[in-house]
Amino acid sequence: MQQGQLDAETIPLRLGTRRSPLAMAQSGMVAREVSRATGRPVELVEITTYGDTSREHLAQIGGTGVFVSALRDALLAGEIDFAVHSLKDLPTAAPEGLLLAAIPEREDVRDALVAREGLDLETLVEKCAGRPVRIGTGSPRRMAQLNAWARSRGQEIETVPIRGNVDTRIGYTHSGELDAVVLATAGLNRLGRSAEISQHLAPELMLPAPGQGALAIECRADAPELAAALGALDHLPTRAAVAAERALLAALEAGCSAPVAALARLEEHELRLEGVIGTTDGATLLMMSTTGPLPLDGTAEQTARALGHALAARLLDGGAAGLMGERV
């Protein structure tokens, strides 16, 4: 082996990541996998995004892209070699000059309730008889489905907008300010905090955000060798599922300020896609699903996107445009 090759193999790859504990945990997991796949060391480069510094609620600052743009700028500037994102934070439009090199196998897609005394949702509502249960979440999607669940039982929930990292959010339940908070199960698992989950909220109760539980590994389009190496981490069934979910989101022209949920699940050789759009007060919830064949080959992603577009068209025909609030 020549000295130049040896030097190249020992130079660390620079992985750009947000500074939050969850982002660091996720990026650390990916760094270890990339190092195994490439034989090269990987160092984390911490980058602060606008979404990390703003104290406004996500619906107010637009949501989509606020945790991503600074990482993408660093990639395009050559300050980092690749970046790791929570896939649900990625805008649906493909950025010029960048490539989604890998989507690793998805974690648990479900939302999780973290409640005082470890109570589940039913018991929490019963114990708070006489007053609304106060549940914290920064997600209009979660607000819509929680309120719809309560309305279906003739009960009332007060959804409280919150921001902050996992410690901050769970802290609201410890202080008594809130009865519970809703977080992504995947994030709690990756932080080693699954024991704090009071209840996993099944998709039948609360459909997740498009791309929830999945990570995205992005690099520059002019780095084909790195893209090919990162591709070793790609999981085709996950890529196809999130392609369907994100295609639905894109066709609806909806962002994080819209209460839109979607989940695609591979069942044998078919992909089942469910979509939900509602008003945040839970008064109206539009739910539809569709199923189509999915060959797990080079056409999988394109086929999945077509399924997402088809379901979006049906949702729009059913009145979805009037339920999404702000359009982006």
Alpha carbon distances (Å) from 125 to 44, 79, 150, 153, 156: 43, 50, 9, 10, 9
In Å, how far from its chain's centre is CA 7? 37
Q: What angle do CA 103, 107, 112 make, to 5 degrees?
A: 135
**Residue 86, token pair as written in the block:** 């929570």
At 128 the pLDDT is 86
**Within 135-235, where are the H helices?**
140-152, 166-175, 185-190, 224-230
Class of domain 111-201: alpha beta
- The superfamily (CATH) of domain 235-322 is Porphobilinogen deaminase, C-terminal domain (3.30.160.40)
In this structure, the chain runs to a length of: 328
At 248 the pLDDT is 96
Residue spans per domain, the chain:
1-104+214-234, 111-201, 235-322
Phi and psi, residue 43, nearest 5°: -115, 145
Q: How many CB atoms lie within 10 A of CB 12?
A: 14
DSSP string of 60-114, one letter each residue: HHT-TTTTTHHHHHHHHTTS-SEEEEEGGGS-SSPPTTEEEEE-PPP----EEEE
Residues recognised as catalytic: 89
Find out whether 59 and 140 touch, Cβ atoms under 8 Å: yes
At 5 the pLDDT is 42
| 1-104+214-234 and 111-201 share one fold | yes
Q: What CATH number belongs to 1-104+214-234?
A: 3.40.190.10
Contacts of 104 (CB under 8 A, 6+ apart): 30, 33, 214, 215, 217, 233, 234, 235, 238
At 49 the pLDDT is 63
The pTM of this model reads 0.89
Question: Cα dihedral angle (245, 251, 255, 261), rounded to 10 degrees?
Answer: -40
Q: Nearest-CA neighbor of 122 among 111, 131, 133? A: 133
**Could you identify the residue written with the tokens 């339940």?**
173
β-pairing, 215-220 with 98-102? Answer: antiparallel
Q: What is the mean pLDDT of each run of 10 residues along the chain (328 residues)?
A: 48 94 96 94 88 48 67 96 94 91 97 96 90 94 96 92 93 96 97 97 96 97 95 97 96 78 94 96 95 93 97 95 61
